[in-house]
């Protein structure tokens, strides 16, 4: 058993420089793409696009001392039509490989049963 009481000696990284490098302009382009889709289909849209970079420390009286850093990007959107609405959320710790041209993740299409509710 390791001297640190069995704690893992290596922790997978959840810090990705590409996500940490997202700028307000990058997020604005992502929001613009979402708004353009809504306009194309005559929908009203609202949502958020955020990115964060943070760190946490863990320490104990047995000498365990370590830091963990991570990044996170999140997009959440709602679109409203005359008789329906749809919602989708995506959280990622990192950007997709090869995403240098688009600094926001591409939202996967929602399944119709999870995408909207219709009023009668």
Per DSSP, the three-state class of 18 is helix
Secondary element (H or E) of residue 113: helix 112-115
Helix (H, G, I), strand (E, B) or coil at 102: coil
The domain segmentation of the chain, as residue ranges, is 12-59+66-96
DSSP E strand stretches across 1-120: 44-59, 65-80, 84-92, 116-118
Q: How many CB atoms lie within 10 A of CB 30?
A: 22
pTM over 0.85? The answer is no
Q: What is the pLDDT of residue 13?
A: 73
Q: Which of 82, 26, 83 is nearest to 49 (CA)?
A: 26
Q: What is the pLDDT of residues 77-118, one digit of tens each?
A: 999 999 999 999 988 876 555 544 344 445 445 444 334 444
Kindly state the tokens that stand for 15: 């810090």
């Amino acid at each position: 058993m390791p001297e640190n009481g069995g704690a893992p000696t290596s922790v997978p990284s959840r810090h990705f420089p590409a996500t940490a490098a997202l700028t307000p302009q990058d997020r604005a382009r992502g929001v613009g793409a979402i708004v353009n889709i809504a306009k194309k289909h005559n929908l009203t849209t609202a949502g958020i696009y955020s990115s964060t970079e943070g760190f946490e420390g863990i320490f104990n009286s047995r000498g365990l001392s370590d830091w963990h850093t991570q990044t996170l990007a999140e997009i959440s959107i709602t679109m409203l039509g005359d008789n329906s609405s749809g919602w989708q959320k995506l959280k990622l710790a990192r950007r997709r490989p090869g995403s240098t041209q688009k600094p926001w993740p591409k939202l996967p299409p929602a399944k119709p049963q999870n995408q909207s509710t219709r009023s009668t």
